[in-house]
Amino acid sequence: MSTNKLQVIYQQTSKLTHQEKLALISKLVADLQKTPKNKKHKLAELQGLGKEMWEKINTEQYLSDLRSEWVLNKIPFRKIMIDTAPLINI
């Protein structure tokens, strides 16, 4: 929520009576207590995240450049697999 929206809400609540403010606070607290603190997210929620970052990038060229770095640095794929084997339980 933007700061501007919060300011508008605050201005509106400042016009409430003391009793109305207490009632509002009670309702807000009740709503917060109903909301799970650690909501579990689904992997599908990540779909499309960061897509604007890749819009102007030719992915085939990007992958080709990345793979050529492996060749330029002379890192054989077998060595990568051996070095990372303990990490992936091979």
User: How many domains does one find in the chain?
Assistant: 2
Q: Note down the domain range covering 13.
A: 3-34
Examine the pLDDT at 72 and tell me if it is beyond 90: no
41 belongs to a structural domain = no
44 belongs to a structural domain = no
| pLDDT number for residue 90 | 47
Determine the average pLDDT of the residues in 6-18.
Answer: 91
pLDDT band at 77 (very low <50, low <70, confident <90, very high): low
82 belongs to a structural domain = yes
Give the predicted TM-score (pTM) of the model: 0.38
| pLDDT number for residue 55 | 85
Determine the average pLDDT of the residues in 12-40.
Answer: 87
Quick check: 13 and 21 in contact, CB under 8 A?
Answer: yes
17 belongs to a structural domain = yes
Quick check: 30 and 22 in contact, CB under 8 A?
Answer: no
DSSP state of 44: G
Determine the average pLDDT of the residues in 7-31.
Answer: 92
DSSP state of 47: T
42 belongs to a structural domain = no
45 belongs to a structural domain = no
